């Protein structure tokens, strides 16, 4: 959790999961902010559709009760209503599709990065390599990142989230993550950054990150990868 002081009161950002949490973690990148905004936009249409369907259901139960209408109508279809319930959902889907496609293509856009970091998944830890500073294989800037066992946690550290070596990157800088695996399928995911990228053996996947604010962001492997999958963390 990171703090930001404002002229009124300090704001505490939620950069890790909390007990009984229902919503998203606070966005730290434009991509995550776009995902949250798209979710809220779609939820707005969901509420309207839910109210309309409930109103239609209650109205049908009220007006077509057997005591009020003992002789049922024999109307089997209506051209007007069928046209309406075909066109209206199509319009709603268009309003949802336009921002979702814009967000999807912007997530795939690769900006010229200032720093490139390579993440290699292992059972059950991550290896990180700052590729821009490698002069040779013997002098490469590489380190392993293991989750800290519960018995070794210090005061204030989060259980099942802390690691011994964090990835340190600058804020307000374009970053490129190159992700692969050395054994089985993994998935490098950090919710606050809006990133979830598969780590596939023999294949390099990449994603772009632009962190808007300083903080500690906690992630995890999001692909079942064996016995200790639940203990494979990726904080940054």
Q: Please, are residues 34 and 19 in contact by the beta-carbon 8 Å criterion?
A: no
CATH architecture of 30-108: Orthogonal Bundle (1.10)
Q: Name every residue whose Cβ is closer than 8 Å to that of residue 30 and which is 6 or more positions away in sequence.
A: 210, 212
The torsion of the CA quartet 124, 158, 219, 178, rounded to 10 degrees, works out to -70
Report pLDDT for 50: 94
Confidence grade of residue 46 (pLDDT, cut at 50, 70, 90)? very high
User: Would you identify the CATH topology of the domain 115-221?
Assistant: Immunoglobulin-like (2.60.40)
6, pLDDT greater than 60: no
Each residue's pLDDT tens digit, 114-162: 888 999 999 889 999 987 776 666 667 888 898 888 888 888 888 888 8
Copy the structure tokens of residue 50: 């839910």
What integer is the mean pLDDT of 109-117? 85
Instruction: Give the C-alpha separation, 209 to 67, whole Å.
Output: 63
Per mean pLDDT, which range of 12-16, 42-46, 55-59 is the poorest?
A: 12-16
Q: Take residue 118 and report the two structure tokens written for it.
A: 């390579």
What share of the chain has pLDDT > 90, as a percent?
Answer: 21
Q: Do the Cβ atoms of 116 and 204 come closer than 8 Å?
A: no
Q: Show me where the domains of the chain are located.
A: 30-108, 115-221
Q: Decide: pTM greater than 0.85.
A: no
Q: Distances from the Cα of 137 to the Cαs of 92, 121, 153, 162, 178, in angstroms? A: 54, 19, 33, 28, 17
* Mean pLDDT, the chain, integer: 84
Q: What does the pLDDT read at residue 139?
A: 66
């Amino acid at each position: 959790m990171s703090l930001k002081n404002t002229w009124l009161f300090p704001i505490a950002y939620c950069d890790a999961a909390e007990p009984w949490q229902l919503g998203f973690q606070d966005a730290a990148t434009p991509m995550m902010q776009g995902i949250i905004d798209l979710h809220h936009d779609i939820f707005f249409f969901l509420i309207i559709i839910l109210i309309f369907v409930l109103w239609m259901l209650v109205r049908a139960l009220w007006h077509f009760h057997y005591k009020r209408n003992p002789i049922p109508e024999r109307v089997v279809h209506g051209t007007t209503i069928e046209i309406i319930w075909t066109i209206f959902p199509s319009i709603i889907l268009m309003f949802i599709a336009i921002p979702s496609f814009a967000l999807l293509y912007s997530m795939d856009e690769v900006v010229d990065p200032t720093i490139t970091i390579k993440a290699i998944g292992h059972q059950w830890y991550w290896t990180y390599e700052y590729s821009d500073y490698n002069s040779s294989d013997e002098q490469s800037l590489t380190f392993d990142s293991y989750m800290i066992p519960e018995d070794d946690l210090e005061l204030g550290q989060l259980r099942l989230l802390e690691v011994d070596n964090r990835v340190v990157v600058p804020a307000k800088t374009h970053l490129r993550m190159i992700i692969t695996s050395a054994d089985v399928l993994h998935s490098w995911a950090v919710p606050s950054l809006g990133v979830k990228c598969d780590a596939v053996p023999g294949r390099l996947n990449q994603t772009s990150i632009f962190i808007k604010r300083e903080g500690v962001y906690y992630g995890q492997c999001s692909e079942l990868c064996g016995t200790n999958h639940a203990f494979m963390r990726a904080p940054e």
